[in-house]
Amino acid sequence: MNAVAGDSVGAPLWRRLRDRAAWTATTDFFLILVALTLPWSTSLVAIFVVAALVTMAPFFDANAFLQSLKRPASLLPVALFVLALIGTLWSDVPWGARIYAVGPSAKLLMVPILFYHFERSTRGLQVLTAFLTSCVALMAMSWLVAFEPHLALKSGAGYGVPIKNYIDQSQEFALCAVVLAYPVAGLFRSGRIAPALFLSAIALSFVINMTFIVVSRTALVTMPVMLAVFALLHLGWRSRLVILCAAIVLAGLAFTTSPKLRSTIESFSREYKAYEEQNVSTSMGLRLEFWKKSLRFVADAPLLGHGTGSIKGLFEQASTGPSGGASAEVIANPHNQTLNVAIQWGVLGVIVLYGMWFSHLMLFRQDGLMAWIGLMVVVQNLITSLFNSHIFDFNEGWIYVLGVGIAGGKMLQAGRHQIPANLSI
């Protein structure tokens, strides 16, 4: 009797363990958890990424994966990581610092893995929807924390920032708001007014939160560019003109009614003046100081750079002036992705970085929701990387990896299923 019962349980379990679809669904489940936890946690993201890789392993086709690496969009993220690894050989900082500096580029190895997985999985949209849902929950929590600061999930939280920081939060909200413009436009065109209004309300809620609660200056620069891309690609000239006029009116109204937004915008000139006249360590002043010194570092080793992990040591050597002044600041991040790469790996690194961005842009040159999501992720990363090293930052870097990897995999999947023109009937 026990043997029969054991067989009745063991046989379905064994079939389940040999079922590729079951393993794929499990991997998708862990990737959904990655997307859900990304706005809230770093450790949980790492745990669920490892779990996704483990569940991907039983049916992983190494030959197919190696074939996929022939695509520039898959190969170049790996090349940037390999360059960071090799760059440890000519760096003159301690080996611990060199290995530690390789870490931020390791996440790029997930891009071709996600391409491979979502060429075969049908749940890419569910993963991205999970990220949107999590950001909506974060937005609701942001409003609560603005009025009840004790509800924040970390000590010393800023106004309206329940977890992490306002820069990460602004990047997430800005991306979600702009990405929703595409399905909203499509729903209105097809006459599906109710879901269009629902998604419009979500997008507007993100914008209102950034207007009256907290917004980063990087997001203020990024959102108009992303919306301009949407207008150029998906609207006629009359609609563009109407949207432009409405945007100017709404921006003026927001500037007038939101002291928080007004203070953020006015801080550009205020911080620049304090830096120029008094060498004060303002946010804008520090960036200008970092960029000027970084250009000198690049000029000293233009071809291969100073090696992985060398940035902090270079800034220590270049530190001048009284303590507390902008010229005395030491940092391991010049707050510009191009300079970050160029200091460590020279022109070679910059070529690989820009090649990666370009190959990913080309991947999303078609029409469709997935192409739009992927395009906006790349465009946002390109623009924000003028002011930050977002490929190497945890939150923004994983947004790039997930967005490009998932949307890119779906684009490649669609390409595989298309019948070549010369074979069509």
Q: Give the pLDDT confidence of 270-313 residue by residue, as tens digits.
A: 655 555 555 555 666 677 888 888 999 999 999 999 999 999 99
Please tell me the distance from the alpha carbon of residue 289 to that of residue 268, in angstroms, as a whole number: 15
DSSP 306: S
Q: Is the pLDDT of residue 10 over 80?
A: no
Percent of the chain with pLDDT over 90: 55
> Which tokens belong to 94?
């301690």
Least confident span in 197-201, 233-237, 264-268, 287-291: 264-268
pTM for this one? 0.87
Q: Is the pLDDT of residue 414 over 90?
A: no
Contacts of residue 349, defined as CB under 8 A and 6 or more positions apart, other chains included, come to 80, 83, 87, 305, 341, 342
Question: 232-241: long-range contacts (C-beta < 8 A, 24 or more apart)?
Answer: 234/182, 234/185, 235/185
Kindly indicate the confidence band of residue 155, based on its pLDDT and cuts at 50, 70 and 90: confident
Q: Residue 187 carries which side chain, given as an amino acid letter? A: L
CB 178 within 8 A of CB 381: no
Write the burial class of residue 163 (CB in 10 Å: 0-12 exposed, 13-18 middle, 19+ buried). Answer: middle
Kindly indicate the confidence band of residue 219, based on its pLDDT and cuts at 50, 70 and 90: confident
> Which tokens belong to 295?
């250009």
Query: Nearest 5°: CA angle at 387, between 386 and 389?
Result: 85
